[in-house]
Amino acid sequence: MNGESMKRIHPLILALLLTGSLLLVASAAGGTTTSAVPDPTAQMQPFVARITNLLQNEDFRNDPRCERCQQIIDIAKEHFDFREMSKRVLGRQWRKLSPEEKDRFVTLFTRLLQYAYIGKIKDYAGQQVEFTGQRIKGKRAEVKTLLVDRDKTIPVSYIMLLKGDQWMTYDVVVEGVSLVRNYMEQFREILRKEKYAGLVKRLEEKIHQLEQEKMQEMAKPSRAG
Amino acid sequence: MQIMARTSAVPAFLACLVLLALVLFNAGLVHAAEGGDVDFLSDDFYEEEPETISVYDPLEPMNRAIFTFNDRAYFWVLKPVAKGYAYVLPWEIRGCVNNFFNNLQEPVRFVNCLLQARFSDAGRVLARFLINSTGGVFGLADPATRDLDIPPVEASLGETLGRWGVGDGFYLVMPLFGSTTLRDFSGTVVDALAMTPYYSWSDDFVVNAGIYAEKEVNKISLHLGEYEDLKELSFDPYVSLRNAYFQYRRRMRDEDVFFEGE
């Protein structure tokens, strides 16, 4: 690129910069907020703050038995609707289940998610959560956040349903990948091949496997020590 | 011209034509469910009656075999190498290497934006390329994103073909490359060939393979642990990754539409 063509292109870049930023402003202003319903972001912020505070606590992270993990689970239960999640993850199968089976499935699926994410506590290294926007559509809302890590930024969206005056999360979308949809497709194939009983068995096995891994992790000397 | 001088480019070009012909032929036969926009707040999104598999995957047995191969290659070779690499090089440098290779691809993205009639995106790509090649010192840094707020734009030939109405064909897992579809992989091959003038630092296959390996290892070093997480939490890693691939790709492409439209 020689100097002359650079000069010719320069106003073009400026114009592009301008239109680009105008587009961004326009799309930010387009976000809807209705005053009648509680603000989903305002409800999510203190929740995230409580969790990150807990995670930043040294005693908490170095506690190999994670005795206070229950604390996190309890806080999560105030903001996550595991029943709604289970219902969506099963799709059509859900309606065929008896109330007892439904309860059993919700318990299993909740435990699976707990093991999956509690196991990640040790990896927490001060990542911050930025709230970047929200969308409300009737009783549903999406709260958009960015998980800011040292060398990358991961977009995470929380999909929520308004229950009473509390927004409850029923799906988490990481980099555009919906957790519910991902499990749904896996479960669908298991349901087709092994029926519902097979799915329950697979869930129990997976939970058992994650439990074993956690026990082994606990047996190992703590990384910090 | 440089490309014409290379004898190796001719068979590669023919191979491309064959691939493209296959894709275009296929387009009339298969319609991938690419459908409307993703809306997480719509209940249609969690459709309750999905009797058919959402992804056309007729080569599943072969794909699964290659998936297993890739899995082993990752755990036995790529991951240890990338770990050592990450140990030696701080993440700042690895980030620069990533930026550098990314910047080299901007001209290809520019052409694809034009082919897709995404003119403001094309301008954005061009601006990024000019800013990062100069202010970013040969693309090692990314001041376009950091200082000027021009985020990266994605555009590939696979996407272009998609806009032109060419269906995905079917899901493919390629050795050491991963998830793709017949259409997208053909696009990738052509995109890569369009890059050959760049890679004429050397005509030596070993050197070029080395450059490719460096690019891939560097990429893996920035994403260590992500595949492990996905695998640990899934019941069928093959299905989970296939689903994640399609969801992720859809987001990438819808988001571009979003910026274009609003």
The three-state secondary structure class of A6 is helix
Q: What is the pLDDT of residues A145-158, one digit of tens each?
A: 988 877 678 888 99
Q: Is A14 on the interface with B (CB under 8 A)?
A: no
CA of B250 vs chain A CAs: smallest distance (Å): 8
- The position carrying tokens 């073009």 is A12
The nearest CA of chain A is from the CA of B42 a distance in Å of 8
Mean local confidence (pLDDT), B142-171: 86
Smallest Cβ–Cβ distance between A13 and the set B50, B130, B234 belongs to B130
The predicted structure's pLDDT at residue B254: 66
pLDDT at A183: 92
Q: At A122, is the pLDDT very low, low, confident or very high (cuts 50, 70, 90)?
A: low
A8-17, A60-69, B64-73, B167-176: which range is least confident on average? A8-17
d(CA B62, CA B39): 33
Q: Point out the residue among A88, A140, A178 whose CB comes nearest to the CB of B247.
A: A178
Query: How high is the pLDDT of residue B196?
Result: 66
Determine what percent of chain A falls in helix, strand and coil, rounding each to the nearest 5: 60, 20, 20
* B236–chain A nearest CA distance, Å: 6
Mean pLDDT of A5-14: 46
Q: What token pair was written down for A158?
A: 């929380």
ipTM of the complex: 0.72
- H helices present in B135-201, as ranges: 143-146, 157-163, 182-194
What chain A holds in terms of domains, given with CATH numbers, is: 3-217 (3.10.450.710)
Which token pair is B189?
A: 């091959």
- Predicted pLDDT at B18: 57
Q: Judge whether B100 and B140 are in contact, CB under 8 Å.
A: yes
Look up residue A151 and give its DSSP letter. S
| Residue A175 to chain B, least CA–CA distance (Å) | 7
How many C-beta neighbours within 10 Å does residue B184 have?
A: 24
Burial class (CB in 10 A: 0-12, 13-18, 19+), A94: middle
* Confidence at residue B15, expressed as pLDDT on a 0 to 100 scale: 58
pLDDT number for residue A84: 92
The secondary structure of residue B258, as a DSSP letter, is H
Binary contact (A88, B149; C-beta < 8 A):
no
For chain B, the distance separating the N- and C-terminal CA atoms, rounded to the nearest angstrom, is: 42
Return the closest-CA partner of residue A76 out of A44, A122, A109, A37.
Answer: A44
Three-state SS string over B87-107 comes to HHCCHHHHHHHHHHHHHHCHH
At B168-202, the pLDDT tens digits run 888 999 888 888 889 888 888 888 887 766 666 56
Cα–Cα dist B43/A93, whole Å: 16
Nearest to B72 by CA among B227, B229, B234, B244: B227
Interface residue A187 vs chain B (CB under 8 A): yes
CB pair distance less than 8 Å for B149 and A19: no
Pick the residue with more confidence: A11 or A67?
A67
- Per the structure block, which two tokens stand in for B53? 């598999």
- In chain A, residues with a C-beta closer than 8 Å to the C-beta of B134 are 1
Q: Is A132 on the interface with B (CB under 8 A)?
A: no
Q: Do A152 and B222 touch (CB under 8 A)?
A: yes
- Section A160-186 average pLDDT: 90
Over B21-59, what HEC string results? HHHHHHHHHCCCCCCCCCCCCCHHHHCCCCCCCCCCCCC
Q: How confident is the model at residue B14 (pLDDT cuts 50, 70, 90)?
A: low
Tokens 């690499």 locate to B85
By Cβ distance, the residue of A23, A137, A189 closest to B236 is A189
